[in-house]
Structure 1
Amino acid sequence: MPSTHLLSRERFLFALLALLALATAPARAETREITDMAGRKVVIPADPRRVFGAAPPVMATLYAIAPERLVGVNVPMRGDEKSLYRKEALDLPVLGSNAGMGRQLNLEEIAAMRPDLVIAWLGFYQEKSQVEASFAKIKVPVIFLKLDTLDDYAEAFAFLGRVFGREAQANEMAAYIRDALARVRKATADIPPAEKLRVYYAESADGLATDCDKSFHTEPILIAGGDNVYHCEQTSHVGMEKISVEQIVALKPSLILTQNKSFIALAEGGELWRNVEAVKNGRIVNVPHSPFNWLDRPPSYMRALGVQWLANLFYPTRFPLDLKAETKKFYRLFLGVDISDADFSRIME
């Protein structure tokens, strides 16, 4: 029979070999199960470190809460706005989008960036199953954010705060959005329909693409108490409904919001638009868009500032606002930058 000494030595060597095997084996990433904003139960990394937002509204939201974890962006950052971007995002590669803005995403490019989590836009025209199947090909879990309305962004930030372990920061952002919406709605709630400012939303360079009053693209106009004069049902998620100048003349907008500065020169300098009420009165306003759009294209949490700007623009007595101070506060909280007075002037142009 082997001696007790030899048995003890063998047990010691076995235990040592077992410990060495554990030490040299690949580390198993910790995971957890969450319920996303589509109600799906998904197993994700316990602490996601490399994340891709599959659509611009999602990417912008991630940019606010966890910019250092982004592996890429959907569309190029504007080169002339470097002072307004977070340093973590300046040199990120452009990977495309599955939501119609910019080029179509390339799964091989995304896989090469080794993301451990993809976050997609719930409610877009693609079915959830199609999005899931797409990213399953590169073996990356996908969760969905619901971002249909501005109210959704408060819950989206709270959700992402739990995903990234940044609850305090996320709750501050959510509280800001809820407070801004509550103040604007309170100020504009009792305006009679006949007294609401008549607004036309000119989106293209020729001013002849717009969106229905019931479209999510124009939600901030309604929240701010404006009457989007193009009353209709949205025919597609993308929007950009075609309209004629003759229709616009008949709709009698008192103010035009434009997404394209070249449209202002076109409308004010030509014969085509001279009979439009807002043009005759010099009431064409360019939407601020640096570094992200305050209104649309893409829609994002920037609307929480945009609705305040619009409410003050539409009804300065009902909704007084120190826009410079509010803009500096917003950019510090959501964009992580301290803007100067010169920056503010440039943003407002």
Structure 2
Amino acid sequence: MTIVKARHFGAAVALLLAGPALADPITFTDQENRTVTLEAPASRIASIPIPMASTLIAIDGGTDRLVGMNPSAKQAIMDGILGKIFPEAKDIPSDITAPNFIPNVEELAATNPDLVIQWADRGPDYVDPITNAGMTAMLISYGTEDKARAYMTMTAEAMGKPERIAPLIDWREEVEAEIKAKTDGLASSDRPKVLYLLRAMDGIKASGTIGNYNAWYIDLTGGQNAAADLEGNGVTINPEQIASWNPDVILLNNFESDISPERIYSDPILSLTNAAQNHKVYRMPMGGYRWDPPNQESPLTWMWLADLLHPEIFDFDLRTEMKTAYKTIYDYDLSDEDIDQILWMDLNAGAANYDQFKSRS
């Protein structure tokens, strides 16, 4: 399909690029129900949760306020398109946290942040070192679309830029509604079984339905979660379990940098699944952030998956949608080569229905 009025999204470019708000005190409630007060919009932000670094860049339109981030977030930026759009991100410190998200207080304090973003719901060991050192913490919760929209909105408020978030939230709502209108009536028999693998190289991990964002958008786009009987996220499983589910589609993560569909096709057990036999194994795109978890580009994930699962229902012009989104979010003109890289056109070459994403120019 073509974009209706560029999804009224492109018209928001001028609004998104507007100047900063006046420096008034800001008070809000974070996602652990804590009251956070800033004397002025945060101008130096350190982010411990992995997804938030790219979200901050997207909302702010640049890297100026990001003074520290998780090393996995930095890897995603430098491995993906944001490293090309904002090459200066390579110089932002990424030693502010241990691998388990416990703050490295000395390095964190050295970034002189006026706001530190940390996970909610994980206990005092994750928060007290920050606040005891005199730094202000904002806690975010993760795993659902509602939570993603809430912490994105809260972040824009903390930066004094509420006008930047409205077009992004409107976009999410619009695309979700458009897809949902076409998939709500699908019978279970018409919904392919889709398995998202959080890890597949060093052990195999899948996620169930409770608090699992991947299961949410699999359902949204007309699939059913093959791992629905699992409880929790990132549950270790074996190939025999996958064989018993016999998924129709397998989605591979972007947390393992060297993963490719060949991992499934070359496995003596996994290669016998419907997904492998029908060439429906896909590495998920890697854009401004990994497209598998919630991020600032999530509507593009939903369009991508909807096009793959139900080409008889959906015909999103994904490349055009991507160009509009990147111009609006990052003020960047995607090239066809950029899009090919984001969509892993090389790794996913030969996969069922993937030719629809090729450049027509």
Q: TM-score range by the shorter chain?
A: 0.7 to 0.9
Question: Match for residue 332 of structure 2?
Answer: 337
Deviations 1:63-110 (A, max 9, x none): 211331111121233545465442453321113447847xx5311001
* 8 Å CA contact retained: 1:206, 1:263: no
SS state of the match for residue 120, structure 1?
A: strand
Q: Secondary structure in 1 aligned to 2:27?
A: strand
Per the TM alignment, residue 180 of structure 1 is displaced from its structure 2 partner at its CA by 1.7
Is 1:227 aligned to residue 221 of structure 2?
no
SS of residue matched to 2:251: strand
User: 111, 114, 132: which is aligned to 1:113?
Assistant: 111
Asked if structure 2 preserves the Cα contact closer than 8 Å seen for 1:85 and 1:291, the reply is: no
Shift of the 270–233 alpha-carbon distance from structure 1 to 2, 3 Å rule, reads: closer
CA gap of 1:41–1:71, structure 2 versus 1, over 3 A, is same
Match in the other structure for 1:196: 191
In 1, distance between residues paired with 2:302 and 2:313? 14
Q: Take 1:132 and 1:171, find their aligned partners in 2: how far apart are those partners?
A: 29
Identity %: 24
Larger Rg: 1
2:17 aligns with none
Decide whether the 8 Å contact of 1:107 with 1:135 is kept in 2: yes
Name the counterpart of 2:357. Answer: none
Name the counterpart of 1:160. Answer: 155
Q: 2:269 & 2:228 partners in 1: Cα distance? A: 23
Separation in structure 2 between the aligned mates of residue 302 and residue 99 of structure 1, nearest angstrom: 25
Partner secondary structure for residue 261 of structure 2: helix
1:177 alignment partner in structure 2: 172
Instruction: Describe the superposition over 1:150-183 as per-residue Cα deviations: whole angstroms up to 9, x where unpaired.
Output: 2333333333332222122111111111112211
Could you tell me how far apart the structure 2 residues matched to 1:173 and 1:31 are?
A: 24
Report 1 or 2 for greater relative contact order, CA contacts < 8 Å, sequence distance ≥ 6.
2
Q: Relative to 1, partners in 2 of residues 1:178 and 1:65: Cα closer, same or farther, differing over 3 Å?
A: same
1:64 pairs with 2:58: yes
- Most deviating of 157-166 and 78-87: 78-87
TM-score by length of 1: 0.80
1:207/1:325 CA distance change after superposition, 3 Å: farther
Q: Counterpart of 1:77 in 2: which secondary structure?
A: helix
CA gap of 1:325–1:85, structure 2 versus 1, over 3 A, is: same
| Code of the aligned partner of 1:64 | A
Matches within 5 A, 1:18-37: 31-37=25-31
- Given candidates 239, 242, 245, the residue that maps to 1:248 is 242
Paired amino acid for 1:276? T
Equivalent-residue separation in structure 2 for 1:342 and 1:63 (angstroms): 22
Q: Is the 8 A contact 2:67 2:92 kept in 1?
A: yes
Distance 2:208 2:183 in 1: 20
SS state of the match for residue 56, structure 1? coil
Question: Counterparts of 1:68-79 in structure 2 under 5 Å?
Answer: 68-75=64-71, 76-77=74-75, 79=78
Which residue matches 1:286? Answer: 283
Instruction: Give me the whole-angstrom Cα distance separating, in 1, the residues matched to 2:127 and 2:262.
Output: 45
SS class of match (1:71): strand
**What is the distance in 2 between the residues matched to 1:270 and 1:42?**
50
Question: What is the alpha-carbon distance in structure 2 between the residues aligned to residue 131 and residue 207 of structure 1?
Answer: 27
Q: Which moved more, 1:196-205 or 1:338-347?
A: 196-205
Change (3 A) 1:271 1:163: closer
User: In the comparison of the two structures, how many residue pairs are matched?
Assistant: 311
Residues 20-68 of structure 1 deviation map (CA, whole Å, 9 limit, x = unaligned): xxxxxxxxx9854333343322222312211112211232321211331
Q: Secondary structure at the match of 1:90?
A: helix
- Name the counterpart of 2:92: 92
**Does the C-alpha gap of structure 1 residues 84 and 335 become closer, same or farther in structure 2, counting only changes over 3 Å?**
farther
Distance 1:189 1:97 in 2: 42
Amino acid at match of 2:192: L
Supply the distance in 2 between the matched residues of 1:234 and 1:335 (Cα, whole angstroms): 37
| 1:321 lines up with 2:319 in the alignment | no
Corresponding residue for 2:349?
Answer: none
Please say which of residues 82-91 and 143-152 is displaced more in the overlay: 82-91
Question: How far does residue 196 in structure 1 lie from its aligned partner after superposition?
Answer: 0.6
Instruction: Tell whether 2:204 aligns with 1:208.
Output: yes
Structure 1 residue 312 corresponds to structure 2 residue 310: no
Amino acid across the alignment from 1:274:
S
Q: 5+ unaligned residues in a row in structure 1: which ranges?
A: 1-28
Which residue pairs with 1:144 in the alignment? 139
Q: CA RMSD in A?
A: 2.6
Q: Is the 8 A contact 2:192 2:248 kept in 1?
A: yes
CA-to-aligned-CA distance 1:255-279 (integer Å, 9 cap, x gap): 1111256452233234333321211
From the superposition, tell whether residues 335 and 30 of structure 1 become closer, same or farther in structure 2 (CA, over 3 Å).
Answer: closer
